[in-house]
Amino acid sequence: MKTMKWLIKREMWENKGMLLWTPIVIAGAVVTLILTGLIFGNLDTIRLYNQPLSVTIEGTARTRIVETMGEMYVTAGMPILMILGLLVFFYCLGALHDERRDRSLLFWKSLPVSDSMTVLSKLVTALVVAPLITLGVAIAVGLLMVLALCGLAAMHGTNLFGALLMTPQFYLTPLRLVALLPVYILWALPTVGWLLMVSSIARSKVFLWAVGTPIITTLLLVWAQKALHFGVDAVWFASHISSRILLGVVPGAWIGFDQPPLSVSPETPGVSVSTIIFEASWSTLGNASVWIGAAAGVAMIAVAIYMRRRREEV
């Protein structure tokens, strides 16, 4: 465990700009834009649950505003969450290729650390460390925004702080977001495994090999299906293979892959949108395709470990 800890620290040291500072910079831009809008914007146009800020809100409307804010405030961090897929994609793409290109692989191989442990440290960094950093930054942005909105409401005669802090959803929503990490790991394994395998094999043009191979294969199957009338289902291949190995690292991609039933109705009292999404996400693990994809991802990671052991030059 101590070796793994130091290997992960090494990954963070070498990729701090990508994995840590990129989410923080984007969070800063999001916070600046929203605060600028709140401070210098036309406050008469800002509405909370169809209620203007310029009046005191009480009763049922106040309760529903607090419930909605307690449940939806993390959506302020969605721009940060959306870049997680790009960060993990490009991190994995260069994880095993860059150390061969700059010859640092020879130094790291001189240390008493196995190839398996090194590749696993990159896997943990991609599937656990990077998502946790991004989630933390996104939740912090959501908290900052909801507090700013409550402060703005208080300046106009409606104090929502106490009611918001008493709402269970205020605490449960970020916990549910973090609890989706195992779902993300399983759905992202095929993509991460594919990218690490390509990164360990390709001598150059890693991006073209990683992205071009599944796309060109899909196009060839479409051509064979249309022109040669081969009995191949190109649409199935595109949706179950190509998209899984290219888009699995996008947060929430499993909703598109598995299409679980989502009866989201924010207007219905008592319905928790975050609960519905949370339960629907976990229900996707009942689909065999996620486990087949995860097994394929593990197999490709094994290939990446083998190639790192065998190949030292680009």
Q: Look at 44 and 26; give whichever has higher pLDDT.
A: 26
* Region 240-268 average pLDDT: 78
What is the distance of C-alpha 71 from the center of its chain?
19
DSSP state for residue 48 in the 8-state scheme: E
Q: Is the pLDDT score of 54 beyond 80?
A: no
For the chain, the average pLDDT equals: 85
Instruction: Please write down the long-range contacts of 103-109, taking CB distance under 8 Å and 24 or more positions apart.
Output: 105/308, 105/312, 106/312, 109/312
Contacts of 266 (CB under 8 A, 6+ apart): 68, 273
Please report, rounded to a whole number, the percentage of residues in the chain having pLDDT higher than 90.
Answer: 40
Residues 6 or more apart in contact with residue 296 via CB below 8 angstroms: 189, 190, 193
Polymer length of the chain: 314
pTM above 0.75, yes or no: yes
- Spatial neighbors of 91 by CB under 8 A, at least 6 apart, are 15, 18, 19, 125, 126, 130
129 pLDDT tier (thresholds 50, 70, 90): very high
**What sign results for the dihedral spanned by CA atoms 229, 231, 232, 236?**
positive
Burial of 172 (0-12, 13-18, 19+ CB in 10 A): middle
What is the per-residue pLDDT across 31-52, written as a single tens digit (0 to 9) for each? 898 888 777 766 555 555 565 5
Report, as an integer, the average pLDDT of 205-211: 93
Kindly give, in sequence order, each residue whose CB lies less than 8 Å from that of residue 126, ignoring residues fewer than 6 positions away.
88, 91, 92, 95, 188, 192, 249
